Structure 1
């Protein structure tokens, strides 16, 4: 990822390849500008829910005053609206900020420099509250050239507070506060100016209830003893590796990579890095520049000549014409080796191993349910499979399920069960579900 400071946004590339979201965004934009659209009801009178109309911030002086106010607080909430399908970096259009008594909307397309706000996001002295905030905190790297700090994510926190993970903001607000949010305009054209009253209201509502939701979740987390774990997982959003492009790691996220043999994975890795560089140069999202399924097709059947590219379904002809020779050269070089190791998939597991992995994952799930934590916050069956292999090979000490808060929540119990010191039993009478108890000792 580009780490330079970019206080002014570059205009998106001309005539980007059409993305499926364009049509959805256009429809929502038309609805938001319709005079027939109903006026949302007034906000309810609830503690920590600001009822005032939002203040639009469109100058550096106004932003300076807002930041000065935020610096007097222990925490504030924020969200952002952006358009991600038209440029390499999402085009930031609006930042919504809320405290228990006010809402401000920062117009990042106005004549202001939003860098001071992102510097505040990078300061550890003030807590920033977000919901599903990975994309919301990422601009701190580009604008402030620093990682975000002291982040509290309500979606993550809910998973530790006896609620589902991942849950939408509307579902959490309805569950916690009894408020049903109106239809969202996530895909409206946030770059169009002026913003309509409907857009402004819905933008404000995205942060209006977060102060009250934070209070609800903090109380639950403290009563359950999970506050430190929830904050640790929220802080993981500040890890640079989550946001920085890494071809050595990220090529495995390509849809369809799991079906490739090692030689195909080698080609995929080479073309994956090339796609990102080319998309950056063209200022397009990588998947708009070249779809994942095309990359996988090229990796599965590497072209030996430019002429071979004509049979590749979905390969844009301008890309073939401009980059064809480079694609062939990269594939040829990758086939020389070395090859990445083959990927383990559930279909490759011997039946006995599959049973043991399922049992291990069931153990993790049971431990989570017993603590009131959604297992999806902890990991997945794929994590259980990798833990099984690590345990078998004797190198599980540093596995993600055995370290940090995950080690405290489930890792210790896994070790105790595997060592025979704790056993599972089926609850009976007034008990329910699978229960853990000390294993019986021999007389």
Structure 2
């Protein structure tokens, strides 16, 4: 496994121009995401069957040639479990690999669980055991060790033969178009941005608040999201979710209340007065502008039995198709379907996952039949 480390834009351009002459390339990234809102890119791995390169984005000041490769629709990009990689590409380069197929999704169409790791597939298909000891390393530190570099290179070097074997099987079973659909859906979901005005709906425990308390939370969650993006800090490093709920529930208007509730003194010192002003703003919001009380599906008396019925439909479809139940329709996707029927009255403009693409025929129509 011979690889080259790329540290300048001129060499990168030559590598990317050559890669654009091929039909398919393997891609992976190494990044760090602990305290930040956005993942921090540390390394990019690329393999086109001839060139195996490790691209150092910390050293290269002009990455336009790589962005052009990502956007080149004549070159298929292959990645594995690429959800966070897509976020990295979008944040750093303003684009994502197009077109793209995820080998984890390809494996799911062959009966593997949706979270099957790269090392497990390489072991099954190629009979090679990968050393994954460097998976939690600091990819922003320099210099990178030989062990780190070998680990990173292996992730794309073995991805090519794995992809080739999966491709044959997926084509034989007739699932290739579905795998492409699912990869496209993954891109759409991963790049979906939360509107600041809707951020309060994602706060854990928001359903416990009444409409007036939600008016406060709506203001606070919008501010927290914008602050996190601006300062590139993880949301809970701005203001913890549990504290937000408590602030809204008690409608706190003093620093002492926050202190009495056991909030971190640094959090109080940094944002306390700003939080108080948002609470007051929320309390002054006219009742006509209060958000609706959040109702959970599970609070509906018929939900529990309905979910069980739909779960049985998914299980039957799983046995018939050979696809894992969690892949056909996860709990979240079943709930999305129920919401579509109950709240959106089957609005064709808000189709749930199970009523789109390959899932509709395999399981969606049967689910819909149970809700007539």
Whether these two folds match at TM > 0.5 is yes
Any idea what SS the aligned residue of 2:226 has?
helix
SS in 1 for 2:180: helix
* 1:216 matches 2:171: no
Question: For 1:185 and 1:100, how far apart are their aligned partners in 2?
Answer: 24
Q: In the alignment, what sits opposite 1:188?
A: 137
Q: How far apart in 1 are the matches of 2:190 and 2:327? A: 19
1:58, 1:112 within 8 Å by CA — same for their partners in 2? no
The separation in 2 between residues aligned to 1:82 and 1:386, in whole angstroms, is 31
Partner of 2:272: 324
Aligned pair partner of 1:340 in 292, 313, 332: 292
Q: SS state of the match for residue 239, structure 1?
A: helix
Residue in 1 that maps onto 2:304: 354
Query: Is the Cα–Cα contact under 8 Å of residues 297 and 303 in structure 2 kept in the other structure?
Result: no
Q: Does 1:284 align with 2:233?
A: yes
The match for 1:404 is: 357
Question: Which segments of 5 or more consecutive residues in structure 1 lack a partner in the other structure?
Answer: 1-51, 420-443
Q: Does 1:383 align with 2:342?
A: no
Q: 1:117 to 1:189 in 2, by over 3 A?
A: same
The CA deviation string for residues 119-149 of structure 1, in whole angstroms up to 9 with x for no partner, is 3212322111111112212244334333542
Please show how residues 9-408 of structure 1 align to structure 2 within 5 Å: 52-239=1-188, 242-313=191-262, 315-335=263-283, 336=285, 337-346=289-298, 348-350=299-301, 352-388=302-338, 390-391=340-341, 394-395=345-346, 397=348, 398-408=351-361
Structure 2 runs not aligned, ≥5 long:
none
Distance 1:259 1:140, change over 3 A: same
TM-score by length of 2: 0.88
**TM-aligned CA distance change 1:289 to 1:408, over 3 Å:** same
* Other-structure match for 1:40: none
Deviates more, 1:70-79 or 1:215-224: 215-224
Higher Rg: 1
TM-score by length of 1: 0.75
Name the stretch that deviates more: 410-419 or 355-364: 410-419
Q: Distance in 2 between matches of 1:231 and 1:169?
A: 19
1:354-403 residue CA offsets vs partner (Å, 9 max, x unmatched): 21221112202321332122232333234324434544574265333222
Q: Tell me the SS of whatever aligns to 1:136.
A: helix
Report the CA distance shift for 1:149/1:62 in structure 2 as closer, same or farther (over 3 A): same
